[in-house]
């Protein structure tokens, strides 16, 4: 805590050795009026949650598994903007703490050298027209070595240590850099809106301008990723020139 360079993110930190998921714990705290900026960190999660109902592998002591509670005064439809904002903050925080170049893959995977280093899951508690709390979950691989990864993940996942010749990092330094960026961008977003967040997101994104394949629940669509909308929807320009809106998909 002493090493955090933030005003209110992380001013309350709930540290757990072992939980189902820090998202679950944070949801419960948020329902009980936990204040904005509360952070839940766990050493390990045995039911870590990823996007699209996937499982998130969270081995003990090697990564950062945490959830942040925010309470922006926005309508629920705007919540995805905070997911993109988080991707920007995590990417910048990682680069600041390690000096390693990182990029964003739509919607919110963080990549180093084309491999996934971090994932973001945002969930919401809301009334029909007002957000009550957004729980921002961040999972970041830090000190895993090759043997920590299941074989099938090795071609597409990595850790900061693996990208640094096996040399490990202090997790506190990395989380503090990320929370600092998150708080800066959040305050900027509340004051000035989404415009600059979106521009920064697009400048950090590998996806934009590329020929990609988007696999949705229904089908696979190919085209050039043109950009994102205000709401974070991906615009895909197909061969015939028409634009497809991609709300949720895996990108290759
Ligand atoms: C993804 O699928 O890429 C998102 C992964 C999000 C994982 C983090 S780890 C901390 C928080 N608690 C969870 O159960 N999930 C998120």
Q: Establish whether residue 49 lines the binding site of ligand 1, counting it when its CB lies within 6 angstroms of any ligand atom.
A: yes
Radius of gyration, alpha carbons of the chain: 18
pLDDT tens, position by position, 4-38: 778 889 989 999 999 999 999 999 999 999 999 99
Q: What is the mean pLDDT of residues 167-173?
A: 95
Top-confidence residue, 117 or 250: 117
Least confident of 5-9, 139-143, 181-185: 5-9
pLDDT tens, position by position, 188-235: 999 999 999 999 999 999 989 999 999 988 899 999 999 999 888 899
* The pLDDT of residue 189: 97
* The pLDDT of residue 146: 92
Residue 2 has pLDDT above 80, yes or no: no
ipTM: 0.99
Our mutation pick for probing the ligand 1 site, out of 16, 19, 22, 56, counting the most ligand atoms within 8 A of Cβ, is 56
* The pLDDT of residue 159: 97
Order of strands across the sheet with 243-246? 243-246, 234-237, 220-228, 211-215, 250-251
Residue 164 has phi, psi (to 5 degrees) of: -130, 40
* The pLDDT of residue 16: 96
Q: What is the mean pLDDT of residues 167-179?
A: 95
Average pLDDT, the chain: 94
pLDDT tens, position by position, 35-89: 999 999 999 999 999 998 899 999 998 999 999 999 999 999 999 999 999 999 9
Q: Establish whether residue 56 lines the binding site of ligand 1, counting it when its CB lies within 6 angstroms of any ligand atom.
A: yes
Residues 48, 174, 74, 79: is their CA dihedral positive or negative? negative
Q: What is the mean pLDDT of residues 148-172?
A: 93
**CA pair distance 181, 177, nearest whole angstrom:** 6
* The pLDDT of residue 4: 78
DSSP 17-67: EEES-HHHHHHHHHHTTPPTT-EEEEEEESS-B-GGG-B----TTTEEEEE
**CA pair distance 48, 123, nearest whole angstrom:** 14
* The pLDDT of residue 6: 82
Closest residue CA from atom 3 of ligand 1: 119
CA angle 226, 122, 195 (to 5 degrees): 45
* The pLDDT of residue 3: 65
Model confidence at 183, in pLDDT bands (50, 70, 90)? Answer: very high
- What sections of 41-157 are H helices per DSSP? 79-98
Number of alpha carbons in the 13 Å side-chain half-sphere of residue 244:
21
Domains and CATH numbers, the chain: 13-204 (3.30.930.10), 211-251 (2.30.30.100)
Q: Establish whether residue 21 lines the binding site of ligand 1, counting it when its CB lies within 6 angstroms of any ligand atom.
A: yes
């Amino acid at each position: 805590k002493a090493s955090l360079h933030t005003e209110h993110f992380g001013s309350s930190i709930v540290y757990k050795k072992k939980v189902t998921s820090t998202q679950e714990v944070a949801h419960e705290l948020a329902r009980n009026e936990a204040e904005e900026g509360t952070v839940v960190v766990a050493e390990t999660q045995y039911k870590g949650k990823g996007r699209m109902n996937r499982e998130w592998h969270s081995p003990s002591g090697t990564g950062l598994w945490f959830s942040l509670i925010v309470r922006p005064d926005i309508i629920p439809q705007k919540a995805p903007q905070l997911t993109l904002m988080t991707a920007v903050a995590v990417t910048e925080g990682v680069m600041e703490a390690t000096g390693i170049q990182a990029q964003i893959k739509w919607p919110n995977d963080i990549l180093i050298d084309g491999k996934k280093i971090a994932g973001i899951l945002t969930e919401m508690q809301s009334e029909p027209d007002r957000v009550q709390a957004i729980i921002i979950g961040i999972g970041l691989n830090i000190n895993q070595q090759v043997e920590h990864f299941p074989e099938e993940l090795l071609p597409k996942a990595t850790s900061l240590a693996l990208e640094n010749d096996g040399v490990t990092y202090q997790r506190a330094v990395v989380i503090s850099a990320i929370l600092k960026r998150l708080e800066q961008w959040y305050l900027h977003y509340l004051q000035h809106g989404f415009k600059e967040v979106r521009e920064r997101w697009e400048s950090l994104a590998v996806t934009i301008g590329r020929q990609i394949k988007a696999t949705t629940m229904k089908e696979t669509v190919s085209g050039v990723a043109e950009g994102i909308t205000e709401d974070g929807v991906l615009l895909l320009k197909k061969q015939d020139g028409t634009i497809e809106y991609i709300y949720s998909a895996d990108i290759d």
